[in-house]
Structure 1
């Protein structure tokens, strides 16, 4: 079971299309890469090459 991380100020913003976009601040608190190609991925995952930066 994944741990629940409370949402805090600066963890996300709303895109012009109305989607919630998580920031690197939140993704670092989550402590793992979901490999979905997140816009602000602090782990360096590249969806095109399916790999992370070393």
Structure 2
């Protein structure tokens, strides 16, 4: 899979209290696929504990 660059726009992420970027559901949907990293706002339903994704 060739990964394309997705431009960051308002609402794509927020900063956590620790200063990390946390990508929102909006960004994940714009990206178009699940990275299987267990992202907090994953709209694709990936569960890192079971390594499965909801269909």
Report the TM-score when normalising by structure 1.
0.95
CA-atom RMSD in angstroms: 0.7
Distance 1:4 1:36 in 2: 18
Name stretches of at least 5 consecutive residues in structure 2 with no aligned partner.
none
Report the TM-score when normalising by structure 2.
0.93
How many residues align? The count is: 54
1:53 is matched with which residue? 54
Distance 1:14 1:50 in 2: 27
1:10 is matched with which residue? 11
Following superposition of structure 1 onto structure 2, how do residues 7-46 of structure 1 map, counting pairs within 5 Å?
A: 7-46=8-47
SS at match of 2:30: helix
